[in-house]
Structure 1
Amino acid sequence: MRLLIISDAWHPQVNGVVRTLTLVTDILRAQGDIIDIVGPDRFSSIPTPGYKEIRLALRPRKKLEEIAQSFMPCAVHIATEGPLGWAMRGICKRRGWPFTTAYHTKFPEYLHARTRIPMRWSWAVMRRFHQAGDATLAATQSLRDELTSRGFTKVQPWTRGVDLARFNVNARDPFEGLPRPIFLYAGRVAIEKNIAAFLSLDLPGTKVVVGDGPQRAALMARFPEAHFTGWRDNGALARSYAGADVFVFPSRTDTFGLVLLEALASGTPVAAYPVTGPLDVITDPRVGALDEDLRAACLRALECDRAACRAHAERYSWEACAAQFRGALSIIGAGR
């Protein structure tokens, strides 16, 4: 199959969308599919206001249509609702090509957190975007229920996975010199991740933040007692997960949270709010604690079973995620 994927989120960005697409397409290519992923790196672009790491393609439609025409896909998947996503949506509608979309990001909540734009306006835009496709793929049951309640009528499941070899219980960062217990956050350091809610908690030991982003400098100034490592990848990130006592996930706006699975695969229990993502992943009280009182969740998570955390993560695989994704694609026509 010749699959064309359009994503406004792509390398060198580091986020859940990029990781998911990278891992899934690696598996599908190994199985024989021919895949082209089109991101902002192929176009003139500008940085997103307040988030320079994310580039927005400028007037991409003409070049994007040339790429699509040259590639002649059997299926089209539009991963994001940015300039590239809207441009490809228009191309598909004009050509009569079916396509699928994915709901990776709670964009209305993110936009409201940054600009205070009413969420009902953004949700109307999101419905218009996604309803034009043949299916909207969503990672969790609670997210699918929410989308359905907001008028999305073509929602289908697309789960997530975790690299069980990379994230494991064996290599542990001792966090030498830092008082224990270690409460860890890892991911983008941005306002929508609600990291200040975690750093404001009265907890024993040390709060550690692994990652980078536009809010890092402000949080470092506001919470000088916290330990900020900057971005860590590969083995260093895995050791950070495994060396922590609790992984704290303060976000209320994620659609899944790949970091939850990465922490669990490393044997580290999770503390989070009872919202979309954590509600769907932390389904066993032995592997984490969910509570509107995040401090209480953190303290309860200290008593969780690290072996149970690893066993819970082993239920998820990227191979199953890739198979589910491929099965949901809409075929444009035979012989391509």
Structure 2
Amino acid sequence: MTLLTYTLLTDPAPLEASAAGRSPSTGTVYLVVTNTGQVSVSWRTFRVQVPVGDGAGHLTPNITTVTAQGRYTTSSGTKPVDVQRQDPDAFLVTAPAGASFAPGDHLVLTLENITVAATAGLAVLGVKEHAKRGNLRLDDRSAALAVVKTAPKEIPAPRDFRADDAMVAAGANITLRWEGSDDFDYKILFPDGQATNLSGGSWSPAADDAPKRATTYTLVATSRTTPKREHVLTTTVQVRNPVLESLTAKVAVITPLVVGPNSGEGGIAFLQGGVTVRRTGDSQNRGALFADMASLNGVKTGAVYTEFIYAKDTSEHRYSWINLHGDGITAYLTDGGSNGLGSVTASRFNT
């Protein structure tokens, strides 16, 4: 039975076993040594043996990456102690000259940068103290301390894929960001291409690929584990005054009514065999149609408002026309470009 009490703590707790295709799992082990008795304990050394390998009973596959330091605390203060690595799998802590553990004194051995073995299980560290108490002789006594290694958890899915600015001017530079583990391979898909081998949780397109119209970007994150896991996120950047290279309508848009965008504006109703112009979009009152020119086979209405009426036959510049003005009407005869007065023919007229 050891004269001193040994307690093992880990960060994180518990340690997580490393997994193939992912960044190695790392952690720290703290060994706390204290005197819980009522009599001082003189000590010279204690040796900590670390199980090295990648199996269930091993702590780490490589002890050379582990850094060790010790801090010894007594009633007079805290000071460092000498810690040396002993090949192939141990650390030796040596006491200062004349050191002893009074009741309540303690020492903390810190083992940092531990790459955790790849197999979940229980790793047992061995401790051998060289100490004495009272009339007992200085001797070696041993203890065993266990460390739990859990199976690696699934990598958290990436999240919060967004643009720094959700609305930009056409051609403006943008930056897309996301939160996610470096153990994924990332790529971003967009209408005119893709970006691969991304890292750092952010990406900006080249100037030629800056959005010129509303653009949806797709983030694809693929794990390096077996089996592979894939996560897909999207975000859209809206563009003020978008640039449209072309507009092609592949399917006709059919509607029975077109109205103005503001309250009280007119509308056009599409009826069987024709259209009706309405004063307002929701009324049946007929409104006015304004145009620079109209080609009609016939007019059926209560009133026609126009400045000139031309003859239908315009071959060889021979046509007649009527000018409608404030004082009445004037009939013109045009022959080869002249505007002589023409004649009005009627079966009857009233004056």
TM-score when scaled to structure 2? Answer: 0.23
* Structure with greater Cα Rg: 2
**Normalized per residue, which structure has more helix?**
1
**Normalized per residue, which structure has more strand?**
2
